[in-house]
Structure 1
Amino acid sequence: MILLMTILRRWRLAWSGALLLGAASAGAQLVPGLPGGSGGTGGVGRPSVPSLPTAPTPGVPGVGDRIGDVTSNVRGAIDPVTGRLDPVRASASELAAARIYRLDELVRANRERLEMTDFGPAVRGQVIAVDPDPATLHAALTAGFTRVAEERIEGLDIRSVTLAVPRGWSVNRALSRLRRLAPAGRFSANNLHEQSGGASAAGDAALLVQRGGAPGSAIGIIDGGVAAHPSLRSAVQQRGFVAGAPRASAHGTAMASLIAGQGPVRGAAPGTPLLVADIFGADPAGGNALALTRALGWMVAQRVRVVAVSLVGAANPLIERAVQQARARGTWVVAAVGNDGRAAPPAFPASYPGVIAVTAVDGRGRVLIEAGRALHLDYAAPGADMGAAGGRGAVVAVRGTSFAVPLVAGRLAQHIRAANVLASLDGEAAQRGARGVGRGILCGNCRTPIRNASRR
């Protein structure tokens, strides 16, 4: 009990800081592991995590590939047969405790690459200056920061300068110092974003790489890599933005099938070409803010009009600027509200202005008990009692707000040429005005029946 109270005090402090600075992070969802994988956590490239104990266990190895699902990492939270969440284990305190354990373990397992900041894990010893002017850079360098890298983000008018913090300083201390030195400057940690769905990629999963199709007509996915599956017959292009990418992941594959699936899984926009940006790969620091920004810039450069982002993390000035510029160039971003429950702070990027924020409903049209929130909510879509593409051609049961995003993205793409895109999309939304579903529920008939999905 003392341990739990300590954890909850830390969680409340994190919430307070998030609300003061407009920052937040939110959890993830569940998709069973691809056959052959370890199950329970997402993607590839990070050590697998055992089921989360009810108290910390000394020497617990590693942390999940994609940080994982806050509910799937609590032992017994989801019934493996029914897929239903135990509402007791899904309480706010359990979700908070599970998330803190999970993130702490991620940093502990990758101390050389990561450190814990006020708003979650970030790349160790680095801060990012966004479009800094000469005076800002001079002040930083004079204070002992070192310029590590500088780039113009492809497709976006953004200049990013990565600075190494002075030796012995934490990222938190470095950001505090920079904001005092240059109050008008924009600085951020290179925060990690959670791949919002717990899943494991099979080691023998073949990466799906198909060339062809007009990029401008494609729907974008920023996630893990996409594996071959009988449901995926459309043109697919994949590009990696971190070490070991692109690389097949269960979560990315499920996302792709829910957008473009034909056959065992039918997506919201069957046969639509896909551009996939893998920002996780085999990198312990996968999902970082700089990789996500580069991926979005690539989508904009390829004239992609709709991008699905089932990732959640802290508010970040670099990503916020990238989203602003993407919208100004005609690209819509669709993002999940996360899975840490309604008591969690608002999720990002879903909470940025202009982003389509999505929650999920079950087979009865009820908002999922574990669904998080954003500063605004646009739509809901199915996120439970359904199947998606898994490994070796299987259809697997999935659950979470993560899997509502590709359904909304697929439908949004069908209205993209309308004079008023959202008004046109509203025309097919059900339960408009109902509590908790934003502008309404989209794609309510898009579920692949659960009876066709394998049980794990």
Structure 2
Amino acid sequence: MLDPVTGEVFDGLENATQGISREALRLANLRERRLDQFVRSNSDVIEIDAQGAPARRGELLLMDADAAQIAAAETQGFSVIGREEIEGLGLYVTRLQVPKGTDLAQGQKQLAEILPGAEISADNLHFSSGMGAALPAMVQGSAAAITTPIGMIDGGVAGHVNVTAQKGFASGAPAPSRHGSSVAYLLHYADASNIRVADVYGAERAGGNALAIAKALGWLVDSGTRVINISLVGPRNSLVERAVAHAQEKGAVIVAAVGNDGPAAPPAYPASYDGVVAVTAVDGRNRALIEAGRALHLDYAAPGADIYARGMDGKAFKLRGTSFASPLVAVRIAASLERGARWRNSVDREALDLGKKGPDAVYGRGLLCGGCRPSR
């Protein structure tokens, strides 16, 4: 067996376990370095919250606040930036600026002391969970046939991918992005023909924030979207968690990737929220990606490596990441809904059992869309 870190050949289960552990530690350290560099490079608009996660600088979100709560916060130096309604979900959010000279983490703790029991969060950022390298052009996938509305919350989509609607929830959005275009391409390749895109990034450096994702969910649900793919990962956030729950109550199925920060990373959200369909990825030989992250539960696996898509410039490139497995699962769920089936039973029958017999922590309930592998 080949050690994924050193490249040395070794034998035995103990050595294999040690090799995987070293790789998990390497990925965890890499994640920390990437986040630190990202925050330092954008310190004028981004800072670390009380959970140690990146968020919009100096801004807190207070859910369903009444006048007394707002007044209590203002007397302690917090100021109201604005009040937002999450249309389609019936949620109301007050945006508060932390007191001058107070960092975000301190402000979050202070506000929790001022308003015990209130739902407070930072405006946490969420990041795409896939990567790719440029490669030659490839052949277009199969003809679209599934008309059940499928939504995606991501970056914007380039014009070479047919989508039904596209709306922006960030400055400069909608704007084409490589990641969003690739996710949409895979939805289309896997036979989705009614794709609705919510761009939560645009040109905004603090894009992918919790408020944008909540608004995007509201828009998609309000427009009748039945399945929503989120190939993004972030920390647990009370606003996003509530928005996801409200969307589910209205009948939407939320599908999310587990990320690519390795098994030692913190649980990925929104994949870890209750009822969200959490998706991991396999390569062309149906091996689980060693860099796949984790969630508090795992539902399915799908191809996420050794496949191709077209980016925002229309050129094909090779994909790798759980981001690209998630939309394939979303399409299979939409196909089941279109047939009028109970999607869980129907999709479970499609799933190819890999690894240990029955559901497991590596492949979930099995591999879906194993034949959905766009090639050059």
TM-score higher than 0.5 here? yes
- 3-state SS, counterpart of residue 439 of structure 1: coil
What is the TM-score with the length of structure 1 in the denominator? 0.72
Distance 1:365 1:198 in 2: 19
Which residue number in structure 2 is paired with residue 399 of structure 1?
Answer: 320
Q: Is 1:259 aligned with 2:168? A: no
Alignment of 1:259-278 (within 5 A): 259-260=187-188, 267-268=189-190, 270-278=191-199
Alignment of 1:108-257 (within 5 A): 108-117=40-49, 118-198=51-131, 217-229=148-160, 232=161, 234-257=162-185
Q: By how many angstroms is 1:236 displaced?
A: 2.7
Unaligned runs of 5+ in 2: 8-18, 135-146
- 3-state SS, counterpart of residue 366 of structure 1: coil
Q: By how many angstroms is 1:290 displaced?
A: 0.5
Which residue number in structure 1 is paired with residue 15 of structure 2?
Answer: none
Distance 1:197 1:388 in 2: 12
Which residue number in structure 2 is paired with residue 442 of structure 1?
Answer: 368
Asked which structure has the greater RCO (Cα within 8 Å, sep 6+), the reply is 1
What is the TM-score with the length of structure 2 in the denominator? 0.86
Which residue number in structure 2 is paired with residue 96 of structure 1?
Answer: 28
Q: Does structure 2 conserve the Cα–Cα contact (< 8 Å) formed by 1:223 and 1:278?
A: yes
Which residue number in structure 2 is paired with residue 51 of structure 1?
Answer: none
Distance 2:329 2:336 in 1: 11
Deviates more, 1:190-199 or 1:87-96: 87-96
Deviations 1:108-142 (A, max 9, x none): 22222111223321111110001123332222122
Q: By how many angstroms is 1:152 displaced?
A: 1.1
Alignment of 1:76-91 (within 5 A): 91=23
Q: Does the C-alpha gap of structure 1 residues 281 and 442 become closer, same or farther in structure 2, counting only changes over 3 Å?
A: same
- Structure with more strand by fraction: 2
Task: Calculate percent identity across the aligned residue pairs.
Answer: 50
Q: By how many angstroms is 1:306 displaced?
A: 0.5
Q: By how many angstroms is 1:90 displaced?
A: 7.6
Which residue number in structure 1 is paired with residue 262 of structure 2?
Answer: 341
Q: Does the C-alpha gap of structure 1 residues 350 and 88 become closer, same or farther in structure 2, counting only changes over 3 Å?
A: closer
Distance 1:284 1:235 in 2: 25
Distance 1:217 1:447 in 2: 22
Distance 1:343 1:196 in 2: 16
Unaligned runs of 5+ in 1: 1-73, 77-86, 202-215, 261-266
Q: Does the C-alpha gap of structure 1 residues 396 and 89 become closer, same or farther in structure 2, counting only changes over 3 Å?
A: farther
Counterpart of 2:156, as a letter, is: G
Counterpart of 1:170, as a letter, is: D
Deviates more, 1:351-360 or 1:177-186: 177-186
Distance 1:110 1:164 in 2: 18
Q: Does structure 2 conserve the Cα–Cα contact (< 8 Å) formed by 1:320 and 1:352?
A: yes
Which residue number in structure 2 is paired with residue 106 of structure 1?
Answer: 38
Partner residue of 1:301 out of 214, 219, 222: 222
Q: Is 1:422 aligned with 2:339? A: no
Deviations 1:202-250 (A, max 9, x none): xxxxxxxxxxxxxx93211110111133xx3x44311111111111111
Distance 1:363 1:288 in 2: 33
Which residue number in structure 1 is paired with residue 14 of structure 2?
Answer: none
Counterpart of 1:439, as a letter, is: R
- 3-state SS, counterpart of residue 259 of structure 1: helix
Distance 1:339 1:271 in 2: 25
Alignment of 1:350-365 (within 5 A): 350-365=271-286
Counterpart of 1:244, as a letter, is: G
Q: By how many angstroms is 1:197 displaced?
A: 2.2
Distance 2:314 2:112 in 1: 51
Distance 1:271 1:331 in 2: 16
Q: By how many angstroms is 1:195 displaced?
A: 1.6
Q: By how many angstroms is 1:376 displaced?
A: 0.7
- 3-state SS, counterpart of residue 325 of structure 1: helix
Counterpart of 2:237, as a letter, is: N
